[in-house]
Chain A
């Protein structure tokens, strides 16, 4: 079945990190980029920024590597969800993700990943330059 995915356009990203802020507010009710499910990786010397976020791989290395079956695919949106009850914070999924999207919150036993805001990602809504899209793609 066709499904929507997160698609990023680094050429359009201006490095403002507004997405990190609204994400942390949406998910945690406070502003804290370290707790955002999206991260802007910037190489300021060359003026480049790259949004790192889960892109819902067809075959997910994070799920394959997890020994505790803590990661699952949500049926409707295909969001990659982490079950806090099963997760042991081993970090295997963080290492396995080719996009660096899954994060360990520093100093806490807490692994986070984009849940697509239930199919209406807030970061996509607020990005001032449409550097993040949520759409059907050919590969999906």
Chain B
């Protein structure tokens, strides 16, 4: 019997040679990196050497689950780690739903995919049996059709499938992976990496068991967790992330018209209440989760009806809606579905369309450049057409398919000042002028502009901190970064946060003595986990390892920044009117952050810090 609560094996799949090799999961490795993103970060650092092109066969796709995946403790996430074709740096992206647990039931903690197939291929993972299946007939099909066809072909409706759509096949640099139709590993372009390897889909079926070290205790804690979720869910259980549309608009930081404003006048048409009244049909949940924050919507009216979708979520709604000047929830939901099917990240797509619309507004792009499309704010018909052009790389779509950073350079004529990204990853749906801490999070997250690596909204907007001041923010972001790395290594959902009970759950599941480390400044927050006798802060370790991957690729302090707009243009209206981020203060905040982190003034983790985290080999790489 292997390790309790783990699948017990890592499998290496070489698409070039069509070879499979399995390796037993090592206990020290599990204790040192926990799972999910932790496993992915270590394997990517070790096995993808610097300067490898993200689309080269040498890049790897690392899918991992965590120690709580497949148990009753809400661990639905499967993490996907690779080198991002958008940023050229570290990428981790999570997928919810059911495919992670299925991978665990097949007996694996991690699959590492390398090489490049000559022909389109999909992988069938059925416990011990791993097959390379022809996918010529699936190439070109959207993710929903692919899901249906594979289930039919395998004559198995219980199999769980993750696939790419035509956007991934055509190497659109912000292509996503779709699983169980409505669940995505959205950010950073992992779908294009699949496309570069001619990997259309992975279908997983597992029938093995997950063993727990202390079953009785584990069940008790997981029942407590369920109870806490049901009692504490409140409006989140009803609205899900759509709860934030009104809130963030009230605080004047809801990205509107490509971050030109933080207030959307038509917000009432697209908020949580509008969803409940017009399109929501029922609650849905990820695997083993009592929260059921997902909204299943049945759209019966509007130009695109009838159709079904699980979603839209807050990020999609805001980036496709207000950020593109669109106040039509049915159209937003349809664009969400279209992106899921063709396999595009909705956040990046909304960002890039908003960028294109601002270029059009400012005369940088004209009808001649857009092949006749009138890219006026809120023109959803044009948005749908533009998404198709991006997917199939037609005309202007071919330029935009490279991501907002590259596209803005190619378009020129000053378009770069309308490109809202960090390190090449398009910015998500919180304007950092309304909460500078989240701006620091965007600047220092390893995958680029990401809201969820250090989601400071709870303290900055809903909490006591002055949201416009840099005071206390470096420490807050530092705590949040470590914390999020633990969440992402366990494979639990960020919406639940890192509750103290997860310490007990992980201990009961593995039989290890897991200890929570609380932050002194924010004593209510668990900052990190360590396992007794191991003495390593695991969250901080994973964060630094991913940082080291980026440092090795040449990322330095100058990449840890925000688009100029946030330093130069005050927000024109609403509760954050007049606010912008003072660039000297931002610099000061960044320096303080580096100091807290034990990084030098260029943002490189010091030898001392890396040794402290038991990453001596990484210290050698960076400092000798």
A residues at B contact (CB < 8 Å): 11, 14-18, 21-22, 24-25, 28-35, 44-47, 106-107, 126, 128-129
Contact = CB atoms under 8 A, between A and B. Distances in A.
Nearest to A41: B157
B310 A14 contact: no
B42 interface: no
A30 B209 CA distance: 6
A11 B290 CA distance: 16
Nearest to A30: B209
Interface residues of B, number: 36
B180 interface: yes
B417 interface: no
B308 A18 contact: no
A11 B281 CA distance: 10
A128 B284 contact: no
Contacts of B211: 30
Shortest beta-carbon contacts, A-B, top 6: A47-B296, A128-B290, A16-B285, A30-B209, A32-B209, A31-B210
B22 interface: no
Interface string B191-221: 0000000000000000111111001000100
Contact of B226 (A11, A45, A128): A128
B444 interface: no
Contacts of B308: 45-47
A112 to B, nearest CB: 13
Contacts of B289: 16, 18
B598 to A, nearest CB: 39
B72 A22 contact: yes
Contacts of B281: 47
Given A24-B209, A31-B72, 18 more contacts: A11-B282, A14-B285, A14-B292, A15-B284, A16-B288, A16-B290, A17-B287, A21-B288, A22-B72, A25-B72, A25-B212, A30-B215, A32-B210, A47-B282, A47-B310, A126-B223, A126-B226, A128-B290
Given A25-B215, A44-B182, A18 B288 contact: yes
B529 interface: no
B571 interface: no
Nearest to B281: A47
A57 to B, nearest CB: 25
Contacts of A107: 207
A57 B284 CA distance: 30
Contacts of A14: 282-285, 292
Given A46-B308, A126-B226, A18 B290 contact: yes
Contact of A31 (B180, B209, B223, B283): B209
Contacts of B298: 47
Nearest to A47: B296
B256 interface: no
A40 to B, nearest CB: 10
Given A34-B207, A129-B283, A16 B219 contact: no
A43 B79 CA distance: 25
B149 interface: no
Nearest to B127: A107
B105 A18 contact: no
Contact of B144 (A15, A29, A45): A45
B613 interface: no
B230 interface: yes
B20 interface: no
Interface in B396-443: none
A7 B282 CA distance: 20
Contacts of B310: 44, 47
Interface string B92-108: 00000010000001000
A32 B70 CA distance: 8
B181 A45 contact: yes
Contact of B212 (A15, A16, A17, A30): A30
A32 B106 CA distance: 10
A32 to B, nearest CB: 4
A47 B284 contact: yes
B71 interface: yes
B286 A106 contact: no
Contact of B210 (A11, A30, A47): A30
A106 B211 CA distance: 18
A9 to B, nearest CB: 12
Nearest to A29: B215
26 contacts: A14-B283, A14-B285, A15-B284, A16-B290, A17-B98, A17-B288, A21-B71, A22-B219, A25-B72, A32-B207, A32-B208, A33-B105, A34-B105, A44-B180, A44-B182, A44-B310, A45-B181, A47-B284, A47-B296, A47-B298, A126-B72, A126-B223, A126-B226, A128-B290, A128-B292, A129-B283
Contacts of A128: 226, 229-230, 285, 290, 292
B175 to A, nearest CB: 22
Nearest to B297: A47
Nearest to B296: A47
A31 B278 CA distance: 39
B217 to A, nearest CB: 12
Specify which of A14, A31, A33, A107 lies most central, judged by the most chain B CB atoms within 10 Å of its CB: A31
A135 B310 CA distance: 32
Contacts of A35: 209
Nearest to B287: A17
B323 to A, nearest CB: 27
Nearest to B76: A16
Interface in B514-569: none
B206 to A, nearest CB: 8
Contact of A32 (B105, B182, B285): B105
A88 to B, nearest CB: 22
A12 to B, nearest CB: 9
B162 to A, nearest CB: 13
